[in-house]
Amino acid sequence: MKIKKRCSAIIEALPYIQTLAGKTVVIKYGGSAQLDNELRKKLCSDLVMMQTVGIKTVLIHGGGPEISSFMKRLGKTAEFIEGLRITDEETAEITEMVLVGKINKTLVSEINLSGGRAVGLSGRDGNLVRAERMKHITQKGKEIDLGLVGEPNRIDTAILKDLLEHKYLPVVAPTGMAADGRMLNINGDTVAAHISGAIAAEKLIFLTDQKGVLRDVKEPDSIISAIRIDELEELKRIGIISGGMIPKLDAARSAIEADVSAVHIIDGRVPHSLILELFTSAGIGTMITRH
Amino acid sequence: MKIKKRCSAIIEALPYIQTLAGKTVVIKYGGSAQLDNELRKKLCSDLVMMQTVGIKTVLIHGGGPEISSFMKRLGKTAEFIEGLRITDEETAEITEMVLVGKINKTLVSEINLSGGRAVGLSGRDGNLVRAERMKHITQKGKEIDLGLVGEPNRIDTAILKDLLEHKYLPVVAPTGMAADGRMLNINGDTVAAHISGAIAAEKLIFLTDQKGVLRDVKEPDSIISAIRIDELEELKRIGIISGGMIPKLDAARSAIEADVSAVHIIDGRVPHSLILELFTSAGIGTMITRH
Amino acid sequence: MKIKKRCSAIIEALPYIQTLAGKTVVIKYGGSAQLDNELRKKLCSDLVMMQTVGIKTVLIHGGGPEISSFMKRLGKTAEFIEGLRITDEETAEITEMVLVGKINKTLVSEINLSGGRAVGLSGRDGNLVRAERMKHITQKGKEIDLGLVGEPNRIDTAILKDLLEHKYLPVVAPTGMAADGRMLNINGDTVAAHISGAIAAEKLIFLTDQKGVLRDVKEPDSIISAIRIDELEELKRIGIISGGMIPKLDAARSAIEADVSAVHIIDGRVPHSLILELFTSAGIGTMITRH
Amino acid sequence: MKIKKRCSAIIEALPYIQTLAGKTVVIKYGGSAQLDNELRKKLCSDLVMMQTVGIKTVLIHGGGPEISSFMKRLGKTAEFIEGLRITDEETAEITEMVLVGKINKTLVSEINLSGGRAVGLSGRDGNLVRAERMKHITQKGKEIDLGLVGEPNRIDTAILKDLLEHKYLPVVAPTGMAADGRMLNINGDTVAAHISGAIAAEKLIFLTDQKGVLRDVKEPDSIISAIRIDELEELKRIGIISGGMIPKLDAARSAIEADVSAVHIIDGRVPHSLILELFTSAGIGTMITRH
Amino acid sequence: MKIKKRCSAIIEALPYIQTLAGKTVVIKYGGSAQLDNELRKKLCSDLVMMQTVGIKTVLIHGGGPEISSFMKRLGKTAEFIEGLRITDEETAEITEMVLVGKINKTLVSEINLSGGRAVGLSGRDGNLVRAERMKHITQKGKEIDLGLVGEPNRIDTAILKDLLEHKYLPVVAPTGMAADGRMLNINGDTVAAHISGAIAAEKLIFLTDQKGVLRDVKEPDSIISAIRIDELEELKRIGIISGGMIPKLDAARSAIEADVSAVHIIDGRVPHSLILELFTSAGIGTMITRH
Amino acid sequence: MKIKKRCSAIIEALPYIQTLAGKTVVIKYGGSAQLDNELRKKLCSDLVMMQTVGIKTVLIHGGGPEISSFMKRLGKTAEFIEGLRITDEETAEITEMVLVGKINKTLVSEINLSGGRAVGLSGRDGNLVRAERMKHITQKGKEIDLGLVGEPNRIDTAILKDLLEHKYLPVVAPTGMAADGRMLNINGDTVAAHISGAIAAEKLIFLTDQKGVLRDVKEPDSIISAIRIDELEELKRIGIISGGMIPKLDAARSAIEADVSAVHIIDGRVPHSLILELFTSAGIGTMITRH
């Protein structure tokens, strides 16, 4: 009987909910999960569910593809060096407009329609992310200027804590504020790692376009379900962690080192993957921990 | 795929949880639900789930069969007049011991094992239920003395509110305290109605041995799903409400009149019937409301 | 001696500060004041000063010229009917991006650099401004569709109050959220009037490009320093209030009717005009009150 | 003049009250004090007085004789090995019923009639006393199973602190909850020592059937008024502490070692002995301290 | 046995303490009680006892004789018209110095030595008593100027409430502050009546040099133990209330009319008369009530 | 334009206000500043300004000249040994009356008239200053008894903190309470140093009759603007610090050693010198710091 199973699904979620109630979980969200309307709606429901059962939830979003497409509308081509966007004044302006004025508001609105109480923040609101310009050394050892690109040097968590205490769900656009007040564009995974460390989150979850860390990229079932941070270097060396996974796992490591208990890399393309990961025994994706 | 359905069960519970979070729900529990070990364990999980998602939950239990069976062990026969137990000094003593020292503690313990934080109360703890002796007029119009049987005349909700505020789950044995300090035995449904009214509960739920109010007792599918309190008299008159249902519906009416929004009569023999009723669209049993 | 005068300026501000400490003041800000870098910096200092001496301060900004200029960059022409912007999907998208992702962040950043703690909000954050589409009747009596243009139908002040209680300075972009979650563009003066009424502000101050309401538009010194709301109709009839002043004074009236004590129309082109108006006996511009 | 003396009695209590106000005092109560109606009433007044003048008061009661007499009514004989009750399933059931459902409620009721606000607790309520089965080694060195008899392994003081903060007077029955949820019977003195240590009580007072520790058991006036814990072993060795006093003084020692400032052994047969001990210079019985 | 009686004195005080705990009691104190060192020490103990058992206690003192004697030391003669002191500048200066700088501090110090936490206040501290000059009409109908003598026109109870909340015992000197900031001398009974009304005291107690209101002044045992305020006029008319009792009973009436439950006139010459009145069944002096 | 300068004076005060908001500043006040009516009024405005912008402000006053002149009125000559007043019983009585009953109330009243909320305290109120008799060793090495003169041995800051928390401005007369409850006269600078240390003040400011510490007493412009405490001994040795400055700088040193960040010696004869020092870049007088 259907109804019966529904009940047991709910009741089996109980111990998971009990474990996380009152704790803080940071979600970093990007890629297809962000672009697909249906997936996005489901994610927003999941976030509201988390908040409702008492998990302090912070969402950090990305924005790559939409920034590039908007630049195209303005007749401007995005330039990248080794995967990093060169950010001149105009690019910076557009980046902030798209991240803060478009993507962030779409998410806030979707969460609020699902019955949540989201408030959007950029790194400049409440001095959340103070940042400094990042120097990039190319693989050939040349130092190049990426423009208005930064990395966090101080997280002021007061605004997050105040909003969470009043049961709001903060939605954060990954930007920072330089000493002169200017916006700096920051990698979303980096912001997520810094913020989750600074607010002593229990978990940081990356919603990605992959099933997790795969032992063999061609075998989608070869997921490594658990990695200790002291194994990361070896996994990089033997090429299991490569490409876009490298910065993500570096972010994971720095979060763990800042006392986040666990970082999860899960598949954002699976509907309700957050619920699956957090409230069922399914245990999808890869979990990174200290020990 | 199984996992998928599990997720949707959880996520479909969201609007129900959102509606009840922060509200108070009183559960009156008796009959087979109480006697069957498996059902009791499931009920306790359900209560912990309710408390965990932010519903202020109060459990009121009964005790009829166990009191009688304990009296038998002491070589004493339970005496009833028109369904009401004659309660002499010794019966009163045994009643309180069984209700408060046995049934109540079993429930408290079960809830705590499920990860909840239950605290047992009798009507004498914290002056919760002040009561006076009840006079009974038989159907033949004769007034008879039922002994140490009472009805509430003042509910002091402070201890319930203080416990709920600190996230405890109060488990209440249906006794009261007379002006001279003596214990009075009180009908559990009556206590539930008075308490739910006094603490302004959103819902009062009776877990019973029936599917609800049936249009035709022989047809288990003839449940009347909704009754307005102004229909009760007519339903009694035409015999649809009869026997043990009469006092239960009188209690329901008095709760509604004391501003409880809805009273539910549901089938305690169905596992997880509370979850079904509260967190799914299943909508089992009979709901009594004002309008 | 210079120093001496400085002291007396500070000490003469005392009674004004004492009167406003703990009260809420809403500032609506637009026009040249917003476009001129120097003026904007001074305004931001003024706001931080207000917040520092204990005035709960809310800033609401406009965005007209910058929206139009950004649309031009995208090769799109702004269309107006009787001064109201026709807002199609693309215009709406750009409007929100400019207001929320650019102007709002510039102000937040400037205030934070001056030592304040600003947090930017749009009408969709925390459900601040729920709105519905506005119907416009032209002067010729024709009803026309302005597209994604709205007017507030519910202000949820919780997020403002929570931020003010924690000593943040909310900076609000004038947008709203429709029942379907979409952004609606709203006139800034209207948003300011609704918000100041909803949070029971002591004062609403319009920083404009005029010295106030002039008896004779050609005589800059013919400022009317005080107007009662029951005088407004007559002033409109005889042409003293005309053009852009009409909607501003309609907003003022609705704020007063929602129990704001006083609305001020002052000259945003004068540096530190807020300090002048609030903390000195200078009393610039026009004040609108009930009596 | 009588009235005059009354006043001075009250006013002489002042420094004692001032010293204890805001502190926590745990009373262990058993023996004749518990069985005699008049003494019990006076004790309850004393407890209410303590609570009224601001002393956080916790009562822990025993139950030996009443358990045995109830077992007799059920035709069951109490079995003891070296003074310890062998507790089979049925004995455990009866023990909890008598302690929690009878003695505890009588005390709660008496206190509430005296104007206090008592709430009864067992070791299973709010997880107050988690316990494990106790192994008993007989004097002959044989390990025997006492059945459902335990000793505390974790005290969760939250429920006591929450009740004391709201000015309730907790009345505790000496039972515990095993890891499987079952009730374990625990020696009342042991529970009192563990609880007073866990809540950092200022004093633990044992109301007993003796005047205190006597230098010569046949000389009721040979009370030793003060003992340091490092003297206990020697006093046992020379036989001054013997019989039932041994476990009581072991409990006293463990309380002192858990930072209770003083343990008192006083004569519960003297009316108002608590008032005498706490609020007058009379200083009855034996006091055990660290130094 | 002495000790026994001491206990019962304490325990008999319990219901009285329970009734007054958390309530506010204002004591007006003057005459011999104030001048006699032994009586004053006892009074201070009584006040500390009251505060300790949870009664919010405010003391208002007088100063007549000491002011006059200090004036004599300065070679100045006190002038009175119909019992009212003519207060010129110098008299006012001396009055405040004696009341605030001498009597008040002596009382504060005595209370603190008894273990209390007293804080002295004059009518000018925290704007406690705003006052205006009093006009006096002589019995011959002539209006005369008494100088710097006033009557309260606004009591700002904030400072009293803040101190009582933090468990201080405010000791008030009967002065007021005129609109120009100058000290005005005010009758102590009048200040006591205004303050007890303004802070909604439960009781106002006058400690006097008389046993209470006597039916026959020559018969010290002819105390009228209870008077309703509607009886006062008749008692004045027939001469039972006369002389110095008239202003005291006028003050009593105005306190009752401001919702103080009861005003007591008791004999301050009896040691510990406050304890007698409040904590025993002795019930000394005269009580004035509304009904 | 005048108005413009006024604005900039206010806005230039902003960073100074921001730095001190929420911090505690203790002002010691004496000499001409206290005797001149106009200066006193301005000082009171300055204090209210400080309190209004969120600085927790405590005022400690002196009283030397007024005590002596009042003694003269009583025909009593003030006796001094090496600048220290010999304080017999009568002198002590008068000292307290003048300090507490006259000077203190004048200041309280002036501050309250300026819109502040001052409350006067002596060292005996709320046990603020517990003190012991001071022994004085003359320059000739003879120990002499100064009578009722003391030095603080315990500061109970509770009353100050409670008043500051409720936004009162405490005005403290420099007296103390001996173990027997008697008033002891204490040097005002000493009281200021002890109190500022005990409440962890940010700054202690001495308002004096000098421009600060002068390199050459005859050159009023030779102010030393900053002194480290390790330079004090050398400055004394070479005679730059001499006379009345010695005890003031000793007090400064002990405040710094008790973790006050900075002590300022400024010219109380300059109107609004507090505003100048605290809220402008003028930086008058001498500042003493640790490093």
Q: pLDDT tens, A248-261?
A: 999 999 999 999 99
More confident residue, A175 or E66: A175
Cβ–Cβ gap B49/A10 under 8 Å: yes
> Which pLDDT score, from 0 to 100, does residue F108 have?
97
**What pLDDT shows up at residue E202?**
98
> What's the whole-number mean pLDDT along residues A265-281?
92
Residue B220: predicted pLDDT: 83
Structure tokens at F176: 């103390």
- Cα separation, F61 vs F95, in Å, equals 13
State whether C275 and F9 contact (CB < 8 Å).
no
Going from N- to C-terminal start, the domains of chain F cover 23-289
- Candidate from B183-187, C251-255, D12-16 with smallest mean pLDDT: D12-16
pLDDT, tens digit only, all 291 positions of chain E: 477 787 888 888 999 999 999 999 999 998 777 888 999 999 999 999 999 999 999 999 998 788 989 999 988 887 888 777 789 999 999 999 999 999 999 999 999 999 999 999 999 999 999 999 988 888 888 888 889 999 999 999 999 999 999 999 999 999 999 999 999 999 999 999 999 999 999 999 999 998 999 998 888 889 999 999 999 999 999 989 988 889 899 999 999 999 999 999 999 999 999 999 999 887 789 999 998
| E115:D15 CB<8 A | yes
What's the pLDDT at E10?
Answer: 87
Kindly tell me if the per-residue pLDDT of A1 is higher than 70.
no
Selected for mutation to probe chain C from A125, A130, A160, A164 (highest C CB count within 10 Å) is: A125
Supply the pLDDT for residue B1: 47
- Tell me: pLDDT of F1 over 50: no
Taking only the tens place, the pLDDT of each residue in B234-273 is 999 998 998 888 989 999 999 999 999 999 999 999 999 9
* AA identity, residue D231: E
Would you say residue B42 has pLDDT above 90? yes
The fraction of chain F above a pLDDT of 90, given in percent, is: 73
Name the strands in the sheet holding A226-228, side by side, starting at the edge strand that comes first in the sequence: A118-121, A169-172, A56-61, A24-29, A203-208, A262-267, A286-289, A226-228
- pLDDT for D1 beyond 50: no
Distance CA B192, CA B205 (A): 9
CATH number attached to the domain at E22-289: 3.40.1160.10
Residue of A nearest to B114 (CA): A15
Instruction: Please give the backbone phi and psi of residue F253, each rounded to the nearest 5 degrees, phi first.
Output: -60, -45
Contact C13 F10 (CB under 8 A): yes
Q: Which of A6-15, C168-177, F237-246 has the highest mean pLDDT?
A: C168-177
Per-residue model confidence as pLDDT tens digits over D216-259: 888 888 999 999 999 999 999 998 998 888 989 999 999 999 99
**Contact yes or no for D114/D51 (Cβ under 8 A):** no
C-alpha torsion angle, residues B204, B208, B213, B217 (rounded to 10): -170
Weakest-pLDDT range from A224-228, B55-59, C10-14, D182-186: C10-14
Across residues F117-130, what is the average pLDDT?
Answer: 97
Q: Decide: C140 and C155 in contact? Cβ < 8 Å.
A: no
**Range with lowest mean pLDDT among A137-141, C155-159, D129-133:** A137-141
pLDDT of residue A79: 84
In this prediction, what percent of chain D has a pLDDT beyond 70? Answer: 99
The reported pLDDT for the residue numbered C1 is: 47
- Is the ipTM above a cut-off of 0.85? yes
C221 has a pLDDT exceeding 90: no
Kindly report the backbone phi and psi dihedral angles of residue C15, in degrees, each rounded to the nearest multiple of 5, phi listed first: -60, -30
Task: Please give the Cα distance from B275 to B52 (Å, whole number).
Answer: 13
**pLDDT, tens digit, 9 for 90 and up, residues A40-98:** 999 999 999 999 999 999 999 998 788 989 999 988 887 888 777 789 999 999 999 99
Whether the CB-CB separation of D134 and D146 falls below 8 Å is answered with: yes
Q: Which tens digit of pLDDT belongs to each residue from F180-231?
A: 999 999 999 999 999 999 999 999 999 999 899 999 888 888 999 999 999 9
> Closest-CA residue in chain F for C271?
F4
Residue whose entry in the numeric block shows the structure tokens 């069922």: A280
Across the interface, whether the CB atoms of C166 and A158 are under 8 A apart is answered yes
Answer yes or no: are the C-beta atoms of C177 and A117 closer than 8 Å: no
* CB < 8 Å to D113, chain B: 180-181
Reply yes or no on whether the pLDDT at D196 is more than 80: yes
**Of B45, B48, B59, B127, which to mutate for an interface test with D (greatest number of D Cβ within 10 Å)?**
B127
CATH fold of B22-210+246-277 reads Carbamate kinase (3.40.1160)
DSSP code at position A30 = -
The residues pairing with C155 across neighbouring beta strands, listed in sequence order, are: C129
- Helix or strand or coil: residue E277? helix
Rounded Cα distance between F171 and F59, Å, is 5
Scanning every residue of chain A, which has its alpha carbon at the shortest distance from the alpha carbon of B49? Answer: A14
Chain A's closest residue to C99, CA to CA, is A101
Measure the CA–CA gap between A188 and A63, rounded to whole angstroms. 8
Question: What does the DSSP 8-state code read for residue C214?
Answer: B
What is the 3-class SS of E191-249, one letter each residue?
HHHHHHHHCCCCEEEEEECCCCCECCCCCCCCECCEEEHHHHHHHHHCCCCCCCHHHHH
- The answer on pLDDT for F31 being more than 90 is no
Q: Which CATH superfamily is domain C23-289 in?
A: Acetylglutamate kinase-like (3.40.1160.10)
Give the model's confidence band at B145: pLDDT under 50 very low, under 70 low, under 90 confident, else very high. Answer: confident
Find the closest chain D residue to E10 by CA distance.
D10
Chain D residues with CB under 8 Å of a chain E CB are 3-15, 17-18, 21, 42, 45-46, 48-49, 52-54, 114-115, 271-272, 275-276, 279-280, 282
The residue assigned the tokens 């009024």 is F41
Phi (first) and psi of residue D84, to 5 degrees: -100, 135
Answer whether residue A197 shows pLDDT above 60.
yes
Q: What is the dihedral of CA A79, A81, A87, A91, to 10 degrees?
A: 20
Average pLDDT over residues C193-210: 96
pTM tops 0.90: yes
Give the confidence band of B201 by pLDDT, cuts at 50, 70, 90.
very high
Q: Percent of chain C beyond pLDDT 90?
A: 74
- Answer whether residue C51 shows pLDDT above 80: yes
CB-based contact A9 B9, cutoff 8 Å: yes
Find the mean pLDDT for residues C199-221. 92
| F36-80 per-position pLDDT tens digit | 899 999 999 999 999 999 999 999 999 878 898 899 988 888 788
